[in-house]
Amino acid sequence: MGSCTACDGRGFIIIKETKCSACKGTGKAKSINLSELSEKQLSQALGGSCPACNGTGLDRITEKCQECNGYGEIKECRICGSSFSGAGDICKNCTEKPSVYLLSALCDTHDLVVGSVYEGTVNGTVDFGAFVDLSRSVRGLIHSSNLSSEVNVGDVVHVKLKNIKPNGNLELVPVKLKEYEIVEVEKEYPGYTSSELPKCVGKTVSISGKVILVKQTAGPTIFSILDESGTVTCAAFERAGERAYPDIDADAIVTATGGVSLRNQDIQIEVLAMKRLPGREAAVIHDRIEAALDATSEPQDIDFMIESETLSALKDGMRAVAKRIRRAIFSSQPIVIRHHADADGMTAAIAIERAILPLIREVGGTDAGYHFYRRSPSKAPFYEMVDIVRDICFALDDQARHGQDLPLLVIVDNGSTEEDMPAFKQTAIYGIDVVVVDHHHPDAVVDQYLCEHVNPYHVGGDFGVTAGMICGEIARMINPEITDEIKHLPAVAALGDRSAAPEATKYIDLVSDQYETSDLSDIALALDYAAFWLKFQDGCGLVNDILNFGKLDRHRGIVKLLCEQARGAIEDQLTVCMPHVRTQRLPNGASLNVIDLEHFAHKFTFPPPGKTSGEIHDRLCQGNDDPVVTLGYGPDFAVIRSRGVLMNIPQMVRTLHDELEGAGVNGGGHLVVGSIKFVEGMRTEVLQRLAEMIGGLEVA
């Protein structure tokens, strides 16, 4: 209902205005004949106003507004929704047509009016008549004596309610109507938000929100509905294994009504009725959810566990990553964490995992972690094609089966370099949001595909501030309650990645009352060893034991065993490799140590080529302060480790790619640690040119 815009709610249109002839436009009463005035005019005159113009000073010629028929307001017909003016709440057309009432699924016999006409569905036929469902719980009988034609199960019929018998039985009489208006009869139940439902167990309530997940079981259809305060599971049942409300899919804005119950200690609504909301109502609910999500997603304002200029400079970006992850949690968007399969990458990912899983379960129920979260290691130090193909296939399968949103992809200790571009181009095609937390030397070209990108190089830092350190602090922004259980992870990351940054020492000192430095180093080695054998598995239980998230005695036992096995394998590898290392002095004074890993190292076992090169490099650096570069190579790859030589491996890779036509050079890594790939037939040319480039670099 609203004022008529044509007449501004007056009910008449002003055709012409002239100066009042009685008061000459002053609006004041002059000489008057009291006997000729009405009571109202007399009152005005005594008050000093001109009775002819009511004090306006104007004579007006008006006519009745045709838009509102003189009522001054426009109404909306409650039956057909059209605009009209006049008395009542039904337009003229609907008043002239008979009404047929359509009961919602929630209506019962208390909502019936004897003599009214209802629309129903034939549920069954018997010798003495036909049973008709008027709603889920309302059924009546058309006696055979009133049936002039055959009806079949499933037919939609119009019936007049003739009588409600004392025992509750309904007597129905079929009617034939050429023109009619359908009037929907709704039964209102109190509305609640999802956070209020625990106090409503046993009651019938309604909830309005967005469908974020539809899962068909062997029994009911499960709908997950998101509102401004959280998510609730709604179970709708038609027949065993049959899809309930097939017209309602993910992203629909709905109102669900039903009984609140507890199932496996989680709140659930047993749906009696569910309907999709129309545009205006849906928009209001959508905006309300979005506003609540934005407020709830704000990360906690925390102080870092240590003081660090680099971390302080990164804080805004870290908060943006934390907010995006929290938004995914509270909107029940799936989250996929991808991480490099080494100690730094694993601790970075596990820190975030420990922060988000309690929140995911709090929002979506005890089993939500299985539906809305997945963690996967990446064997390569970049997000390669095998990773993106697996992630997209999983995401599309989940979307097809359950109507889930595509996931938020969180990439840690990976994702900053040009090597990631082929995979990121696929995420862009599918509209998958990507955030990256990394400490490899970044290439700006990747930023066009990322929502957020946190990297110490962006603020003048370097790879010494590891992904595990940054993610440990981001995890605390997401969920501060996990601080005590994860505060040792940045120290493990620092030792695993051999960080010499001041932050590494501070994180190690932070947990010195709980862990010796040797203990943290052992954890890092155990992670590296386990990661090699886990391949593409997340190894959740094993990794949690290694990181001391379970039983202490089991943690100590598994770390000790894995370290013994890892050190034994490393020693065996070095025993084989060291006699085959060839050393030469470069023009800049650095020692270049070279080994053919294809022919002089064990293959397909721990340590892999990258770690083998690192262990050889560490041994060659012992007792030697000179600049040292170690180069381990195979048929089509080379692994570089450096100390004391000012190199930029990503830049060297680009130079090799441009200079050596047909060599297919690519790769990357940190400034002084990295890997290069090339075609096997150009190995000699690539290695020779690489050695020349290293020999021309400055030394520290």
547-585 per-position pLDDT tens digit: 999 999 999 999 999 999 999 999 999 999 999 999 999
Alpha-carbon Rg of the chain, whole angstroms?
A: 38
Going by C-alpha positions, the residue among 250, 252, 274, 272 that lies closest to residue 261 is: 272
Residue 413 has pLDDT above 90, yes or no: yes
Mean pLDDT is highest, among 9-13, 78-82, 599-603, for 599-603
146-180 per-position pLDDT tens digit: 888 888 998 999 999 999 998 889 999 999 887 88
Residue 467 has pLDDT above 80, yes or no: yes
Question: What residues contact 168, with CB distance under 8 A and at least 6 apart?
Answer: 109
- The token duo for 210 is 């967005």
For residues 272 and 614, what is the distance between their CA atoms, to the nearest angstrom? Answer: 64
Which of residues 134 and 52 earns the better pLDDT score? 134
Mean pLDDT within 169-196: 88
> Does 181 share its domain with 198?
no
CB 234 within 8 A of CB 273: no
> Does 594 share its domain with 690?
yes
pLDDT at 184: 85
**Domain assignment of residue 573, yes or no:** no
CATH of the domain at 147: 2.40.50.140
Write out the residue range of the structural domain in which residue 271 sits.
194-296
Residue 34 has pLDDT above 70, yes or no: no
pLDDT at 31: 53
Mean pLDDT is highest, among 187-191, 259-263, 396-400, for 259-263
pLDDT at 89: 64
Q: If pLDDT is split at 50, 70 and 90, which confidence band does 78 have? A: low
> Does 273 share its domain with 316?
no
For residues 474 and 491, what is the distance between their CA atoms, to the nearest angstrom? Answer: 15
For residues 267 and 253, what is the distance between their CA atoms, to the nearest angstrom? Answer: 20
> Does 198 share its domain with 234?
yes
Mean pLDDT within 248-271: 91
CB 649 within 8 A of CB 671: yes
For residues 410 and 432, what is the distance between their CA atoms, to the nearest angstrom? Answer: 11
Percentage of residues in the chain having pLDDT higher than 90: 64
CATH of the domain at 354: 3.90.1640.30
pLDDT at 468: 97
Q: Which of 47-61, 119-133, 512-526, 636-650 has the lowest mean pLDDT?
A: 47-61
**Domain assignment of residue 671, yes or no:** yes
pLDDT at 672: 82
**Domain assignment of residue 566, yes or no:** no
Residue 448 has pLDDT above 70, yes or no: yes
429-438 per-position pLDDT tens digit: 999 999 999 9
Residue 68 has pLDDT above 90, yes or no: no
Last residue of one domain, picked from the residues 185, 210, 227: 185
Q: If pLDDT is split at 50, 70 and 90, which confidence band does 406 have? A: very high
Percentage of residues in the chain having pLDDT higher than 70: 92
Question: What residues contact 142, with CB distance under 8 A and at least 6 apart?
Answer: 129, 130, 132, 151, 157, 159, 172, 173, 174
Last residue of one domain, picked from the residues 138, 154, 185: 185
Residue by residue, what is the 3-state secondary structure of 554-612? HHHHHHHHHHHHHHHHHHHHHHHHHHHCEEEECCCCCEEEEEECCCCCCCCCCCCHHHH
**Domain assignment of residue 314, yes or no:** yes
Residue 23 has pLDDT above 60, yes or no: yes
**Domain assignment of residue 652, yes or no:** yes
pLDDT at 212: 86
**Domain assignment of residue 484, yes or no:** yes
116-125 per-position pLDDT tens digit: 999 999 999 9
pLDDT at 682: 96
Residue 257 has pLDDT above 70, yes or no: yes
Residue 40 has pLDDT above 60, yes or no: no
330-375 per-position pLDDT tens digit: 988 999 999 999 999 999 999 999 999 999 988 877 888 888 999 9
Mean pLDDT within 82-100: 68
Q: How far is CA 108 from CA 117, 162, 167, 195, 277, in A?
A: 15, 16, 15, 29, 22
pLDDT at 25: 72
CATH of the domain at 585: 3.10.310.40
Q: What DSSP designation does 238 have?
A: S
For residues 212 and 228, what is the distance between their CA atoms, to the nearest angstrom? Answer: 13
Question: What residues contact 336, with CB distance under 8 A and at least 6 apart?
Answer: 373, 374, 375, 376, 391, 394, 395, 407, 408, 409, 410
CA count, 13 A, side-chain hemisphere, 676:
30
Which of residues 56 and 388 earns the better pLDDT score? 388
pTM of structure: 0.73
> Does 543 share its domain with 681?
no
Q: If pLDDT is split at 50, 70 and 90, which confidence band does 81 have? A: low
Mean pLDDT of the chain: 89
Number of domains in the chain: 4
- The token duo for 698 is 């400055």
> Does 291 share its domain with 320?
no
Which of residues 65 and 248 earns the better pLDDT score? 248
> Does 103 share its domain with 153?
yes
608-628 per-position pLDDT tens digit: 999 999 999 999 998 888 899
pLDDT at 94: 60
> Does 152 share its domain with 223?
no
Handedness of CA 602, 608, 609, 612 (dihedral sign): negative
> SS3 of 221, please?
strand
pLDDT at 80: 55
**209-225 residues labelled b (16+ CB within 10 A) or e (exposed):** bbbbbbeeeeebbbbbb
pLDDT at 19: 78
> Does 290 share its domain with 330?
no
> Does 252 share its domain with 179?
no
CA count, 13 A, side-chain hemisphere, 480:
9
pLDDT at 33: 53
- Quickly count: other Cβ atoms within 10 Å of residue 481's Cβ: 12
**Domain assignment of residue 562, yes or no:** no
Mean pLDDT within 307-319: 97
> Does 342 share its domain with 476?
yes
- The token duo for 368 is 């939500």
**Domain assignment of residue 446, yes or no:** yes
> Does 590 share its domain with 676?
yes
